[in-house]
Each structure stands twice: as C-alpha cells, then as structure tokens.
Structure 1
Amino acid sequence: MSVKKSNKLIFRLVLSSILLSAVGYVSYSEFFKGKEVTAAKVGSVAPDFSLKNLNGTEKTLTDYRGKGVLINFWATYCPPCKKEMPYLENAYQKYKEQGVEILAVNVTEPTRLVNQFISQKNITFPILLDRDGLVLDKYQVQNLPITFFINSKGEIMNKVSGELTEEKIEEGLELIKP
C-alpha cells in the first residue's frame, strides 16, 4: 500500500471516530435531557421519594403533604447521628400532635442493624430505609447527618448539615409547623 493511500485511510478513520463521538454525545445528551437531579435547596420543593419503613410499608414524601416534615438522613455508624436521636425523639413527642412529622432516613444499612439500634434507643418516629442510596443521591447528601425542614406545602425551609442540637430542632420545627 502506498503512503498516500495509508494517509487517506488514517484520515478517514480519524474523521469517522470524530463523527461517531459527536453522534454518541448528542444521543447521550438527548437521552438524559430532562433527567437532571432536582437540587434539594432551601426555597425549592422537596424532591418526592418512595421508601419502605421498618415494617415493609411503602411511604412517600407526598403522604405527609399538609404537615411540616423534618427529614433526617442518618446511619448507626455515625456518632453525631446517634447523639441527636434522643433530641429528635423528644421533639417528635412534643410536635406530633401539632401537625409535624419526623422521618429518619437510614442510608444503606441492613434492617436488622437498624431495628436493633431503634429498639435500644426507644425511637418511635418513622424510620425509612434507603437501601440503594437513591434518595440520598436525590437530596445530594454528601455527609451525615443532614436534616431538611419542609413546610406543609412541600417547600424546603431550612437545611442543617451536621449534628442537630435541641435548639436547632426546635427552631426548625417552629418554622415548619402548620
């Protein structure tokens, strides 16, 4: 094969690769268009989700529309998460009759471990299980614990990264109480 033919072949291969890459990029972009993650930011509507509780019953965030909702992402291996649980339980007892719900979303841990922890701590508020971490991703959670305070219209009114104090919980619940 001559050098001229070889150069033409290389040029055609490079050009074909560029065109295939462009077509692939456009296809990828179109496929994922409209599938962007809705950021869970203060002032925006909280992304809806569906998770099972410890009894295996499916719950969605919209099940609680009309109530103020505190969503706390946590895990049993997280020391600050463990520390704030009694504060959340006290707040739940105080606010549950005032139209406020506390939902603790456990991230990717086995049900047995979560049940043991909840039993030891005498937790009575709803625990939801995010087995595959999809809700964690939807809410763009980077670190635990993180808590979202959502009003009765489903809008995120406050977001607290890190350990909650009793005062922060009380302030947040007063903000979202219907």
Structure 2
Amino acid sequence: MNRVFSLCRRPRPRFFHCCLLALLALPLLAAGCSRDGGGPITTLPQFSLAAAADGSPINSRDFKGQALIVNFFATWCQPCRQEVPSLIALQNKYGEGNFSVLGIAVEQNDRAIRNFMSELGINYPVAMSAPDTPKTFGGVFGIPATFLIDRQGNMIRRFDGHVDIQVLEHELQAIL
C-alpha cells in the first residue's frame, strides 16, 4: 500500500512541465497572429457587423479618422461587466468626433445583449460578432479583449483581460 501511495506522489519529470508550459503559452503567442497567420495585426481589419440595438450595419469604415477602442465582451463575463463603466466614461469624455468605443458582443443572444446595454447604460455602438470576427482581430481567445486603434487605423495596443481605466485613458490620450 505504501508503494502505491508513493507512486502517486512521485514528482513528474521536467519534460512534462516544459510541455505543459509550452501548451499553456500557445494561446498567448497565437493572440498576436494575423488573419493569415503571417504576423501581428497592425491595422484595423475590415468588417461589417450588425448593430446589437437594431441590426443596422456597423462598418469599420464608419470609424475612419477616429481613434477607436474595440472591446470584445459577453454579457455573462464579470470582468467585461466591470469594464463597461470605464468605457462609458471614456466615450463621454472623448467621444466628440475624434474618438469612439465600439463593443463587439461575442455571444449571439440579441435580447440578452440589448438588456445588458440598457441595464448598464451603454452609450457607444455595440455590434454582434460574426463567426470570423475574433480571427480577423488576430485571434480573440478570451474576453474581455480590448484593442486601441489610432486615427490612421493602426493597431496601437492590445489588452487581454480586464484593463484599468487609468491605463486605457493614458494610452488613449497619447494618440488623440
């Protein structure tokens, strides 16, 4: 019996740990890959998505000449919910012509998204993600995922996970 117990507690070989670490790092490395896998995304991808509010089209060209924060989210995601007040504040403070926040909902429940928008008082456009939208942004493997884009359409920064408003505002001020 002691022999069985001692076998269960035997330390795993280093090779196993290295392989596990490599597997865990793969999504992080892939997060910066482009649509074709050829490298990091450097510009705002072209898209046309349905607005969550009414189904009207939201196109990437609608934001030409504006600084943009693109935020991938879901209604059930607690960190996403925590970010919304910051995004609302940034839209209120900077959203006069040169800047916009764009939310992209990764779930397909229109009613839940509209209720979420109403409940939290979202004041920026929200689009419904198409199946390939996360891939066109270089791969969105977790939410929230936030992208900062300058007025020329260049991707300036990507944030995976919750982002503090001070960090986001500091980065935004640098490109406005």
TM category (shorter chain) comes to 0.7 to 0.9
Partner of 1:141: 140
- Aligned: 1:167 with 2:171: no
Partner of 1:36: 36
Q: Map Cα deviations across residues 147-172 of structure 1 (whole Å, 9 max, x no partner).
A: 00001111001111110111122023
Aligned ranges 1:40-55 → 2 under 5 Å: 41=41, 44-53=42-51, 54-55=53-54
Aligned ranges 1:25-174 → 2 under 5 Å: 36=36, 41=41, 44-53=42-51, 54-97=53-96, 99-130=98-129, 132-139=130-137, 140-174=139-173
Partner of 2:13: none
Q: How many residues in Structure 1 have an aligned counterpart in Structure 2?
A: 140
Normalised TM-score (structure 1)? 0.73
The CA deviation at 1:98 is 5.6
Supply the distance in 2 between the matched residues of 1:89 and 1:64 (Cα, whole angstroms).
17
Question: Gaps spanning 5+ residues in structure 1: where?
Answer: 1-34
Higher Cα Rg, which structure: 1
Supply the distance in 2 between the matched residues of 1:48 and 1:162 (Cα, whole angstroms).
23
Moved more, 161-170 or 84-93: 161-170
Supply the distance in 2 between the matched residues of 1:62 and 1:168 (Cα, whole angstroms).
27
Contact 1:40 1:138 in 2 (8 A): no
Supply the distance in 2 between the matched residues of 1:111 and 1:168 (Cα, whole angstroms).
31
The CA deviation at 1:39 is 5.4
**Per the alignment, in what secondary structure is the counterpart of residue 113 of structure 2?**
helix
Partner of 1:23: none
Going from structure 1 to structure 2, the CA distance change for 1:38 and 1:45 (only over 3 Å counts) comes to farther
The root-mean-square deviation of aligned C-alpha atoms, in Å, is 1.6
The CA deviation at 1:55 is 1.4
The CA deviation at 1:176 is 2.9
**Per the alignment, in what secondary structure is the counterpart of residue 97 of structure 1?**
coil
| Higher helix fraction (1 or 2) | 1
Question: Gaps spanning 5+ residues in structure 2: where?
Answer: 1-34
Supply the distance in 1 between the matched residues of 2:157 and 2:37 (Cα, whole angstroms).
19
Normalised TM-score (structure 2)? 0.74
